[in-house]
Amino acid sequence: MRLTKNATQILNARYLKKDINGKIVETPNALFRRVAKHISNIEEINRKEWENTFYKVMVNLEFLPNSPTLMNAGLPNGQLSACFVLPVKDSLNSIFTTLKNAALIHQSGGGTGYNFSKLRPKGDVVTSSGGTSSGPIAFMKIYDAATEYVKQGGKRRGANMGILNVEHPDIEDFIKSKSDNVSLRNFNISIGISDRFMRAVQLNNDWELINPRNHTVHKTVRASDIWQTIVEAAWKTGDPGLIFLDTINKANPIPKQGGIQTTNPCGEVPLLDHESCNLGSLNLIKMVKTLDGKWKVDWDKLEQTIATTIRLLDNVISANHYLLPQVKSKTTKNRKVGLGVMGWAEMLIMLGLPYASDEAVQLGEKLMAFIQSKSYDASNALAKERGTFPNWNESIYATEKRMRNATCNSIAPTGSISVIANTSYSIEPLYALAYKRVGILENETQMEINPVFLEKMGLLGLWTEELKFEVMKTGSIQQAKSVPKKIRKLFETSLEIPWKWHLLHQRAFQRYTDNAVSKTINLLEKTTKQEISKIYFTAWEYGLKGITIYRNGSKPNQVLQTCNLN
């Protein structure tokens, strides 16, 4: 198989099996064989055929499962899921039990999300000792420190999502808890937002902060003051994001199992306490074909690949080793999976559609509607073959459709697997046409000119030394007059694309994604607080399940930077 240098580096460092001396003992092909074999073991008939089918979609880089599946399948006690949510109740016992469980999950390559809103606020009474409570943020700092020191067997640092609901008395401190750009570096933080709060902001109403211990009003503030504090903190550092809990719960497939309060670290999977989910992503640049010399979406191949990979992800649930019995129980009763996409921006370029265009947004919607509908068909077929998910009777599907999985789709960030597949992240626009990638592997930088861009420039006879210099210097061709305007438009990068288009793409994909869409709205440094307020508000109005922004330069260490020849 053909892999890029970046892909090989990442595979060597983190994915390929090593012996006790740290020597790599498998090839990339053998890795995909190991994964295919392990997850086809549960097939009762045609096991070998399924192994080959699964192997083929991975080795052809048409689809990749989330990192823990690639790293751990077929290894002793291999934990295969990327996403977990754990409960945090208002007791030291619960706080430290969950901390221990999170450490075990991080060690296996999974990420954990928690909602800290049940914890009594800082300074509140502790009856048993007569003392006062340290509050949610103090306990998050302990989680953060633990994460720092559990470096996942040298593979990857852990990832956490910390949520506090907007009515919690400590909300102001929480909003600012990452504003120093030092604290809680292993956390993404989000405010749990209700529709009621958004309307209170709209109407400039009062807002009551409620002590979760006794449900009494702790303090009354103005909703718009909290909103302003959120906007200012997000403007300063990108944190906090928002999670729209009512929107999430309107789409909860099994409300009888309880309300959803939390997502995994990057926000693409809302889960119940102790639930886990495994993800996988279709590589869209492999889902095109040429027709009359032009690239077109290959709908047949897409449909076939969806059927294969929903089965593959369902198998992962059965072939998984669960670190905690509660997680095994919840996960196998709901059997949630998240099939998503990577390479969207590059697919658009191949099709000749600028990201910032109505045609691109419409195609995004059509594509995701297709993926969702074919995923449901695949899950329905699996239900006929293997039975529905055990909680199906209680689910919204009970009167409608037999389903093997309570959810089928999520749009994950594909931070590592898109590098392995050599395509653009998730549904993100290209960040730059050339860049150095800092810190994916610690102490290493990787240089890259986007291959789809290079190919197109070559085909059009536009690739010159001058253009190369321009691209290496700025990461962009928007100032390159030698390139026709229409072509330049096709290669607008993340920061050159107005935020409106970022949100429209997120909405297009969210409309047909039963879980959520992880997306970062990348913004120019000069973006104002008013604009950020508008973006956060629009996200709610658009029915997004969450929103994350990042204003260029607002954190000291960015993963992606444009090249600078100096």
Scan residues 29-88 and list those touching ligand ADP (CB under 6 A).
Answer: 66-67, 82-83
CB of 87 to ligand ADP, least distance (A): 17
The Cα diameter of the chain in Å comes to 79
In whole angstroms, give the CA distance from residue 495 to residue 523.
Answer: 6
**Residues 95-134, mask of contacts with ligand ADP (x by CB under 6 A):** ---------------xx-----------------------
Residue 413 interacts with ligand ADP (CB under 6 A): yes or no: yes
405 Cβ contact list (under 8 Å, min separation 6):
310, 313, 314, 334, 335, 336, 337, 379, 382, 389
> What length is written for the chain?
566
Closer residue to ligand ADP (CB): 151 or 473: 151
Of 48-56, 137-145, 153-161, 292-300, the segment contacting ligand ADP by CB under 6 A is: 153-161
Residue 270 interacts with ligand ADP (CB under 6 A): yes or no: no
| 3-class secondary structure, 426 | coil
127 Cβ contact list (under 8 Å, min separation 6):
none
DSSP string, 134-157: -HHHHHHHHHHHHHHH--GGGT--
Q: Which amino acid is at 494?
A: S
CB of 287 to ligand ADP, least distance (A): 18
**Phi, psi (deg, nearest 5) at residue 395:** -95, 170
Residue 266 is a catalytic residue: yes
In whole angstroms, give the CA distance from residue 463 to residue 455.
Answer: 9
Of the candidate residues 334, 414, 476, 515, the single one contacting ligand ADP (CB under 6 A): 414
SS (H, E, C) 349-413: HHHCCCCCCHHHHHHHHHHHHHHHHHHHHHHHHHHHHHCCCCCHHHCCCCCCCCCCCCCCECECC
Q: Residue 14 gets which letter from DSSP?
A: I
In whole angstroms, give the CA distance from residue 552 to residue 539.
Answer: 20
The closest alpha carbon to 105, from 158, 143, 153, 64, belongs to 158
Closer residue to ligand ADP (CB): 231 or 248: 248
Of the candidate residues 121, 158, 364, 429, the single one contacting ligand ADP (CB under 6 A): 158
* Whether 236 contacts 224, CB under 8 Å: no
CB of 279 to ligand ADP, least distance (A): 6
* Whether 334 contacts 266, CB under 8 Å: no
CB of 440 to ligand ADP, least distance (A): 10
481 Cβ contact list (under 8 Å, min separation 6):
none
Closer residue to ligand ADP (CB): 15 or 397: 15
Closer residue to ligand ADP (CB): 264 or 520: 264
Residue 554 interacts with ligand ADP (CB under 6 A): yes or no: no
CB of 392 to ligand ADP, least distance (A): 25
In whole angstroms, give the CA distance from residue 418 to residue 233.
Answer: 30
Of 209-217, 244-252, 258-266, 354-362, the segment contacting ligand ADP by CB under 6 A is: 258-266
Alpha-carbon torsion 496, 502, 508, 510, what sign?
A: positive
Residue 159 interacts with ligand ADP (CB under 6 A): yes or no: yes
**Helix 529-541 with 195-202: angle, nearest 10 deg:** 130
Of 194-202, 227-235, 364-372, 414-422, the segment contacting ligand ADP by CB under 6 A is: 414-422
Residue 156 interacts with ligand ADP (CB under 6 A): yes or no: yes
| 3-class secondary structure, 94 | helix
Active site residue: 264, 283, 315, 450, which one? 264
Residue 415 interacts with ligand ADP (CB under 6 A): yes or no: yes
In whole angstroms, give the CA distance from residue 22 to residue 11.
Answer: 14
Q: Which amino acid is at 301?
A: K
Of 301-309, 390-398, 412-420, 532-540, the segment contacting ligand ADP by CB under 6 A is: 412-420
Closer residue to ligand ADP (CB): 209 or 277: 277
Closer residue to ligand ADP (CB): 177 or 423: 423
Residue 83 is a catalytic residue: no
The closest alpha carbon to 275, from 319, 321, 330, 317, belongs to 330
Residue 268 is a catalytic residue: yes
CB of 74 to ligand ADP, least distance (A): 17
* Whether 296 contacts 290, CB under 8 Å: yes
Closer residue to ligand ADP (CB): 110 or 546: 110
Of 150-158, 292-300, 443-451, 472-480, the segment contacting ligand ADP by CB under 6 A is: 150-158
- Nearest 5°: the CA angle 319, 322, 327 is 120
Of 247-255, 262-270, 479-487, 548-556, the segment contacting ligand ADP by CB under 6 A is: 262-270
Active site residue: 266, 277, 408, 563, which one? 266
CB of 475 to ligand ADP, least distance (A): 22
Closer residue to ligand ADP (CB): 417 or 457: 417
Tokens 């861009």 belong to 453
In whole angstroms, give the CA distance from residue 505 to residue 499.
Answer: 10
Number of residues that bind ligand ADP (CB under 6 A): 21
| Cis peptide bond prior to 121, omega within 30° of 0 | no
Of 129-137, 259-267, 430-438, 486-494, the segment contacting ligand ADP by CB under 6 A is: 259-267
| 3-class secondary structure, 236 | helix
Active site residue: 62, 268, 275, 346, which one? 268
CB of 564 to ligand ADP, least distance (A): 26
Of the candidate residues 190, 416, 510, 554, the single one contacting ligand ADP (CB under 6 A): 416
Scan residues 421-480 and list those touching ligand ADP (CB under 6 A).
Answer: none
Of 162-170, 283-291, 322-330, 409-417, the segment contacting ligand ADP by CB under 6 A is: 409-417
* Whether 508 contacts 365, CB under 8 Å: yes
Positions annotated as catalytic residues are: 264, 266, 268
Q: What residue ranges bind ligand ADP (CB under 6 A)?
A: 66-67, 82-83, 110-111, 156-159, 264-266, 268, 279, 412-417
